Amino acid sequence: MKISRSTARCFSGLLLVLTLPFEVTAAEAPAALPQPPAQYSYDRALPLDGGQNFRDLGGYPTEDHRHVRWGLLFRSGSLHGFTPADFAYLKMLGLQMEVDFRSTQERAAEPTDWPTGQAPRILADDYDFAILGRHMTNLQDMTPDEVQAKMVEMYPVILDQFNGQYRRLFDQLLAGNAPLVFHCSAGRDRTGIAAALVLTALGVPRETVIQDYLLTNRYFQLAQVGPAAQTWGKIPPAMAKVMVSSARPSIEAVFKVIDGYPGGAKAYLRDRLGLDQLKIARLRALYTE
């Protein structure tokens, strides 16, 4: 898959306590919010009328007794539904980069109409949504448990298929291009794996990473998914519930791959995502405090 900057406006947790000397200059470090300011009035999900699962990854504790910095790392579903008030609110965040994991078809169907002068830089790949859909066929003939098993099978596939996009997400983070939002359509599968990778690299404990993934069950809004919602509306309710829920076995399937990699999580991050100790140290210097 090749990188394209869309002109359509459009993932053991790693138990590393690095002692490498590594400093980031004031000029390099993105300006972060020390905590969710009162004027933002959010716990984790931002109060956006047209937002879909738009959440701040700040505040999570790390294994080395630090915390992820607020106001720099955001995960989300589609940005298509933003209202003028939402755009005005988002202007406060000063977003520098949007990493869009959606397919070519998804981006065309639901572009983000950023106001003039407010659009961040956008990083997206062109690919056919069918590469995801082919893993979830004949749902009408399955039980809910079988559908869940399919979801568990699909997550390691996403981890592998989106490796290039996840590497480029880390490239942006290492370059200090933040505040940054990464997203797909629902903010659950592709985005959930990306968030698990980012939080793991920052040293957030495994259980905390899993709990962040499960928060989609609280914040996901089916009515705002767009074309995908039409597909889910054609399958039995019990199966649709599985399709739109974040289940622990799904994200655990991703960690099974990471833990099973020769050398474990540290080696996985190094070999599959290009994150050696110096880069891990830089990420932590930039995005934890």
Active site residues: 184
Neighbour-count burial of 194, counting CB atoms closer than 10 A to its CB (0-12 exposed, 13-18 middle, 19+ buried):
buried
Angle at 171 between CA 170 and CA 176, to 5 degrees: 95
Fill in the amino acid letter for 205.
P
Q: Are 196 and 14 in contact (CB under 8 A)?
A: no
Closest CA to 32 of 105, 94, 99: 94
Buried b (16+ CB within 10 A) or exposed e, 275-288: beeebbbbbbbbbb
CB atoms within 10 A of CB 289: 15
- Residue labelled with tokens 């004031």: 26
Angle at 199 between CA 197 and CA 205, to 5 degrees: 115
Q: Are strands 180-183 and 73-76 parallel, antiparallel or unpaired?
A: parallel
